[in-house]
Chains A and B, each alone.
Chain A
Amino acid sequence: MAWRDEERFAEFVQRQSRFVFRLAYAVLRNSHDAEDVVQEVFLKLYRGGMWQSAHDEKAYLARVAWRAAIDHLPKHSLVDTDETEIASDHPSPEQTALDADFQRKVHLLIDGLPEELRQPLALSTIQELTSSEIAQILGIPEGTVRTRVLRARQLLREKLAALEGRTHAANHS
């Protein structure tokens, strides 16, 4: 009986570890911390034995993982990214380098968003989560989630446009 449970739990871990890791990584932005959260979450679930009785496995897991990740988040961990820092980051001329740089810039800008905007946006990047599930995880209405995600995207566009202007100005001068 016990070994069968263990086998089922191993399957459960295999099935959901990637999802938990992505969720923790979206919050923490650090692979090692995210791995710690994954381990902590699954051990907690195994000890409590609640993983078998959860009505909606994914939503339940997402809530537990998000809380664990938030607990791991230090108060001063938010990356304080200002535009000057990003503008002087990687001024590479090659297109591939520019693409990679663009992605990195976007990630840094997301890191620099206020937490109330960053977390809905980060969770929305995980395809498995719907806006209602994100609302459940964060404990806010679904409409608020959508509004915050839109607002975060808008802010990103504005910041990227400002950065582009600065980059062009720097290149021309």
Chain B
Amino acid sequence: MPQTTLDFENELERAIATYADPVDAGHSQVLAARVAATVHARRQKLRWLMGLTVAIPVLGCLLIVALLDSRLSEPQHRGPEIAAIPSTSPSATAPQAPSRSKLARRAILYPKPRQLPKLDQFPTPAPITEQERLLVQFVGRAPQHTQQLIAKTQKQSDEPLRIAELAIPKLDSGSQPQ
């Protein structure tokens, strides 16, 4: 304890002045280093996060592009098969109006079959079949009477059929079978 008033005052001032000083001196360097390390670690973490925020959308975009590419390239392998299938009405397959790019892509992938011009005669005359050709050859080689028979048969087949009327006699109720 200080002896005089002056000593007391000096000691009191000294004691008050050290009130905000911690007992362990020289810690400020350690403290500053700790704070700097924390800030640095936080910055590294932020850099990682920023990298991830850039990398994830880029990877997503690449994945989508790859998927689209695979979908586009897939029908080209079986192109001829699909082209032979007659196209159905667009309203039946597409529930909503497709965009212009979709229509263009579909036109490339599924080309419409070329439409033939309309004819006046129905059914459309077709070339003779193999059996008809053989018949013509046979008639050409056959003798005269055979040709006449065939022509007669053809003529008969074209004429309308006449069937004689049926006459069914009445059954006699009084007669006894012998």
Contact = CB atoms under 8 A, between A and B. Distances in A.
Given A103-B14, A156-B12, A38 B19 contact: no
Contacts, number: 93
Which of the listed residues B12, B16, B28 has the most CB atoms from chain A within 10 Å of its own CB?
A: B16
Contact of B31 (A17, A26, A107, A164): A17
B27 interface: yes
B1 interface: yes
Say whether chain A's binding surface is mostly helix, strand, loop, or mixed.
Answer: helix
Interface residues of A, number: 40
Interface in A90-138: 98-99, 102-103, 105-107, 110, 121-123, 125-126
Contacts of B38: 39, 43
A157 B12 contact: yes
B30 to A, nearest CB: 9
Interface stretch (A7-15, A52-60, A77-85, A140-148): A7-15
Contacts of A66: none
A142 to B, nearest CB: 20
Which of the listed residues B20, B32, B39 has the most CB atoms from chain A within 10 Å of its own CB?
A: B20
A107 B15 contact: yes
Contacts of B15: 102-103, 105-107
A105 B31 CA distance: 28
Contacts of A25: 20-22
Interface residues of B, number: 28
B2 interface: yes
Nearest to A163: B1
A156 B36 contact: no
B40 A106 contact: no
The 5 closest A-B pairs by CB, nearest first: A106-B15, A26-B20, A18-B28, A17-B32, A103-B15
22 contacts: A6-B40, A9-B39, A17-B31, A18-B31, A21-B27, A22-B20, A23-B20, A25-B20, A25-B21, A34-B22, A35-B31, A35-B34, A38-B35, A39-B34, A43-B39, A102-B1, A106-B15, A106-B19, A107-B18, A121-B16, A122-B19, A125-B19
